[in-house]
Structure 1
Amino acid sequence: MTAPAPLLVVGDALLDHDLSGTADRLAPDAPVPVVHGARRGTRPGGAALAACFAAADGRDVTLVTALGDGEAARTLRRLLHDRVRVIEIPLTGELACKTRILAQGVPVLRLDDGDGRAAGATDEAREAVGAASAILVADYGRGAADVLRDALARAARKVPVVWDPHPRGGPPVKGTRLVTPSAAEARAFAAHAEEATAGGGARSDGARPELHHAAEDARKLIRSWGVNSVAVTLGPDGALLSHGDAPLLVPAPHRAPGDACGAGDRFAATAAGLLADGALPEKAVHGAVHAATRYVTDGGAAGLPHDQDPDPPAPEAVPHPEPALLADRVRTRGGTVVAAGGCFDLLHAGHVALLQEARRIGDCLIVCVNSDASVRRRKGATRPLVPVADRVRVLRALSCVDAVAVFDEDTPERLLKELRPHIWAKGGDYALARLPEAPLVGSWGGEVVLLPYLDGRSTTELAAKAALDPAERSAGRARTAGR
Structure 2
Amino acid sequence: MCVRGTVMALMVDLPGMLAQRRPRIVVLGDVMVDGWTTGRCDRLCREAPAPVVDVTADSTAPGGAGNTAANLAALGAETVMVSALGDDQTGQALLESLRDAGVHTDHVLPVVGRVTTTKRRIIASDQVMLRLDEGDRSPLPPDMDERLATELRRALHGCDAVLVGDYGTGVIGPAVKQVLRQARREIPLLAVDAHDLEAWRELRPSVVTPNAAEATALLGHKPDSFESYGEQLRSKTGAAAVVVTLDREGTVLLAPGVPPHRTSADPAPDNHATGAGDTFVAALTMAAACDVPLTTAVSLAQAAADVVVHRPGTSVCGQAELVERLGRHESPSAHEALARIVAEHRTAGRRIVFTNGCFDVLHRGHVSYLEQAKRLGDILIVAINDDASVRRLKGPERPVNTAADRAAVLAGLSCVDYVTQFADDTPAALIRLLRPDVYAKGGDYSENMLPETPIVQAYGGEVRILDYIADHSTSAVIDRIRSA
TM-score range, shorter chain: 0.5 to 0.7
> How many angstroms does 1:281 deviate by?
2.0
Q: Does 1:99 align with 2:120?
A: yes
User: Counterparts in 2 of 1:67-216, with a 5 A limit?
Assistant: 67-82=85-100, 83-86=102-105, 87-89=107-109, 91=111, 93-116=114-137, 117-119=139-141, 120-122=145-147, 123-129=150-156, 131-147=158-174, 148-158=176-186, 159-167=188-196, 170-191=199-220, 203=221, 206=222, 209=224, 212=225, 214-215=226-227
Runs of 4 or more above 6 Å deviation: 391-395
- The reply on whether 1:44 has 2:69 as its aligned counterpart is no
8 Å Cα contact 2:22-2:77 kept in structure 1: yes
Per the TM alignment, residue 244 of structure 1 is displaced from its structure 2 partner at its CA by 5.6
Structure 1 residue 242: Cα displacement: 1.0
TM-score, structure 2 length as denominator? 0.56
Counterparts of 1:26-425 in structure 2 under 5 Å? Answer: 26-82=44-100, 83-86=102-105, 87-89=107-109, 91=111, 93-116=114-137, 117-119=139-141, 120-122=145-147, 123-129=150-156, 131-147=158-174, 148-158=176-186, 159-167=188-196, 170-191=199-220, 203=221, 206=222, 209=224, 212=225, 214-215=226-227, 218-243=230-255, 248-257=260-269, 259-297=272-310, 299-301=311-313, 303=315, 390=324
Task: Report the residue type matching 2:170 in the other structure.
Answer: G
> Could you say if the C-alpha distance between residues 178 and 54 of structure 1 is closer, same or farther in structure 2, counting changes exceeding 3 Å?
same
Aligned partner of 2:60: which letter? T
RMSD: 3.3
- Where do 5+ consecutive residues of structure 2 fail to align? 1-16, 330-394, 397-484
Is this contact kept in 1: 2:87–2:110, CA < 8 A? no
CA contact (8 A) 1:72 1:95 kept: yes
Aligned partner of residue 288 in structure 2, secondary structure: helix
Instruction: Give the Cα separation in 1 of the matches to 2:126 and 2:180.
Output: 38
SS of corresponding position for 1:23 = strand
Q: Which has the higher contact order (CA 8 A, sep 6+)?
A: 2
Structure 1, residues 371-390: CA drift from partner, whole Å, max 9, x if none?
A: xxxxxxxxxxxxxxxx9995
Conserved in 2, the CA contact under 8 Å of 1:65 and 1:88?
yes
Measure how far apart 1:24 and its partner are.
2.8
Say how many residue pairs are matched. 301
Relative distance call for 1:216 and 1:142 in structure 2 (3 A) is farther
1:141 and 1:169 in contact (8 A); partners too: no
Relative distance call for 1:190 and 1:146 in structure 2 (3 A) is farther
Task: Call closer, same or farther: CA 1:112–1:302 in 2, change over 3 Å.
Answer: closer
TM-score normalised by the chain length of structure 1:
0.56
Q: 1:102 to 1:146 in 2, by over 3 A?
A: same
The 1:218/1:24 distance shift into structure 2, 3 A limit, reads farther
Q: 1:140, 1:62 → 2: CA distance?
A: 18
Q: Are the structure 2 counterparts of residues 65 and 72 from structure 1 closer, same or farther at C-alpha, using a change threshold of 3 Å?
A: same
CA contact (8 A) 2:248 2:265 kept: no
- The equivalent residue for 2:37 is 19
The AA in structure 2 aligned to 1:127 is: R
Question: Residues 160 and 276 of structure 1 are in contact (CA less than 8 Å); yes or no, is this contact kept in structure 2?
Answer: yes
Distance in 1 (alpha carbons) for counterparts of 2:228 and 2:52: 44
